[in-house]
Chain A
Amino acid sequence: MSNEIAIIGAGMHPWGKWGHNFVEYGVAAAREALADAGIHWREVKFVSGGATVRCGYPGYVAGATFAQALGWQGCEVNTSYAACASGSQALAAARNKILAGECEVALVVGADTTPKGFLAPAGGYRPEDPDWLRFYLGITNPTYFALYARRRMDVYGDTLEDFAAVKVKNSLIGSKNPRARYRKCFTAEDVAASAMVADPLRLMDICATSDGGAALIVCSLDYARRIGKGDAPRVAAISTVTPSFASAVVEMPDIATDSAAAAGIEAHSFRAALPVKAYEEAGIGPEDVDVAEVYDLSTALELDWIEDLQLTPRGEAAQWLRRGDTAVGGKMPVNPSGGLACFGEAVPAQALAQVCELTWQLRGMCGDRQVEGARVGITANQGLFGHGSSVIVKR
């Protein structure tokens, strides 16, 4: 029995720093997805929302908020919190509902208005909270990205020019994406002239936080066929696995890795583990992938993800980048949307935005950004507290 579901609608509110209520972005994305699917809102029997916590209200950025804004119509509702992977968990909940035969059509939606300034922990003296502790000791988010970047330089020979080239590549393709927040074509000189934040990463190597919203209409294959969309792109796999003990890489917000000193315990990379389950579930391998959307919180991290997805051998992503192989038109295009470099991060929407881009790519609707003949796409992202996801979409 197939465990696939069809994606018959995709929609996004453009990313930016609009400063409006997040509900507005989610509604706009949902309405675009409904129109794209050609169905009425009342046909949706399940709303699955990506969540985040704002101002102590965990239930506010939630599925029900969007269901009310679109007009209560008595459908069932779900809310998923999984940091940057919230959208994928919401998608997984919709898939389970559909495959269990409990509904035919679901709306999956995520949206956020990101607060201004640093994301800082709550006050007081709270050394038992790792997030409080690391800020007290002077360890910020860019610290972690920079540690990974510097290790690539020392171990694989990556250079500052390579990291800048990721930004140049993503800004060039993102300049052609009307939904992207940053649409300027940056040069290597622009990157080199930006302020150093955490050596070797400069301001333009690190992604911003944004407002945005993304939505999908997903349904059973039977329903898709009945409305004449039997050839719609399908969700072939969703991986939302936890890390495996012991962690090999020090992860935000921790001050140390796990210890792998016990008998029978090996150190594992979480990022590398995420796509493994997705490939198994879809019954395909990295050699089948035509296009990837990965979580480039930093330029260097895009290179890590390419290797974690096994799209290149370990340590060789920069060589592929230098040859143009990871650009649209190359043999393994990565982030044809422009990635987080051009969007900035809107946490509960971001994993869905990645799936939206793959949906449009697989339908051949991306114009100047189109990856020719794309039939299989994969996403990857990782967030706080052991949350992460990888989704495979195929046609």
Chain B
Amino acid sequence: MSNKPLAPAIEGWFTLDDQPQLIGSQCCACSTYFFPKQSRYCKNPDCDSTEFREVPLSRTGRIWSYTNACYQPPAPFVAAEPFEPYTIAAVTLEEEQMTVLGQVVTGVAVTDLKVGMEMELVLEPLHETEEDIKMTWKWRPLANQGGQH
């Protein structure tokens, strides 16, 4: 990895600290969470609020399901040369009662995962540009529960 500066792949979608969190929004009237952020109208059919606050989402959750990508996706995905397959997980956040997709950290295979396993959010490179390294959120098995790799 080069020593280029780190930059978020998508501005404003997650914090960049040691304990990164996705940044969502929450309806001020009915408490529904949104990720990606929603700030104009509430999608709860019983709520017509237009006021939202930005909130960091839970850093941990449990696997709803998981898979991998064995073939290189088309653009706008930016693939490394040669393409390296990666693992993907859908993780359910208990407080928010929502499931969020993301890649799983490098080095963890489908065979390392199971529905219900606890995962935490971390940041890893998505791809490099000429100026910087674009970082994204990824899921990593929480230590001490058998996510060996």
CA distance A261 to B116 in the complex (A): 19
CA distance A246 to B35 in the complex (A): 13
- Residues 6 to 26 of chain B near chain A (Cβ within 8 Å): 9-10, 13
Number of interface residues, chain A, beta carbon within 8 A: 50
Asked if B44 and A265 sit within 8 Å, CB to CB, the answer is yes
Asked if B98 and A135 sit within 8 Å, CB to CB, the answer is no
Task: Indicate if B147 sits at the interface (CB-CB under 8 A).
Answer: no
Interchain CB contact (< 8 A) of A250 among B32, B71, B96, B101:
B101
CA distance A77 to B29 in the complex (A): 44
Interchain CB contact (< 8 A) of B65 among A123, A130, A150, A261:
A150
Size bracket, chain B contacts? 35 or more
Asked if A137 and B126 sit within 8 Å, CB to CB, the answer is yes
Asked if B46 and A264 sit within 8 Å, CB to CB, the answer is yes
Chain B residue nearest to A148 (CB atoms) is: B65
Hey, which chain A residues are within 8 Å of B27, CB to CB?
262
Asked if A154 and B88 sit within 8 Å, CB to CB, the answer is no
Task: Indicate if B1 sits at the interface (CB-CB under 8 A).
Answer: no
CA distance A268 to B79 in the complex (A): 35
Interface residues of chain A: helix, strand, loop or mixed (majority): loop
Asked if B67 and A265 sit within 8 Å, CB to CB, the answer is no
Interchain CB contact (< 8 A) of B77 among A138, A142, A197, A261:
A138
Asked if A197 and B70 sit within 8 Å, CB to CB, the answer is yes
Task: Indicate if B52 sits at the interface (CB-CB under 8 A).
Answer: no
Hey, which chain A residues are within 8 Å of B32, CB to CB?
246, 258-259, 261-262, 265
B80 nearest CB across to chain A (Å): 11
Task: Indicate if B73 sits at the interface (CB-CB under 8 A).
Answer: yes
Asked if B64 and A151 sit within 8 Å, CB to CB, the answer is yes
Task: Indicate if B100 sits at the interface (CB-CB under 8 A).
Answer: yes
Chain A residue nearest to B13 (CB atoms) is: A127
CA distance A82 to B74 in the complex (A): 25
CA distance A377 to B23 in the complex (A): 47
B75 nearest CB across to chain A (Å): 7
B58 nearest CB across to chain A (Å): 11
Asked if A138 and B88 sit within 8 Å, CB to CB, the answer is yes
Asked if A261 and B73 sit within 8 Å, CB to CB, the answer is no
Asked if B73 and A147 sit within 8 Å, CB to CB, the answer is no
Task: Indicate if B82 sits at the interface (CB-CB under 8 A).
Answer: no
- Residues 25 to 46 of chain B near chain A (Cβ within 8 Å): 27, 30-36, 43-46
Chain B residue nearest to A141 (CB atoms) is: B73
Taken residue by residue from 229 to 248, chain A's Cβ proximity to chain B (1 for < 8 Å, 0 otherwise) reads as 00000000000000011100
Asked if A246 and B65 sit within 8 Å, CB to CB, the answer is no
Chain A residue nearest to B30 (CB atoms) is: A262
Task: Indicate if B105 sits at the interface (CB-CB under 8 A).
Answer: no
Q: A140-B69, A198-B67 are in contact. Are A256 and B88 (CB under 8 A)?
A: no
Taken residue by residue from 109 to 141, chain A's Cβ proximity to chain B (1 for < 8 Å, 0 otherwise) reads as 000000001101101010100101111111110
**Could you list 7 examples of A-B contacts with CB < 8 Å?**
A121-B76, A143-B69, A147-B64, A245-B45, A259-B32, A260-B98, A262-B32
Q: Which residues of A contact B (CB under 8 A)?
A: 117-118, 120-121, 123, 125, 127, 130, 132-140, 142-143, 146-151, 154-155, 195-201, 244-246, 250, 255-265, 267
> Which 6 pairs between the two chains have the least Cβ-Cβ distance?
A146-B67, A154-B115, A259-B33, A151-B65, A120-B74, A147-B65
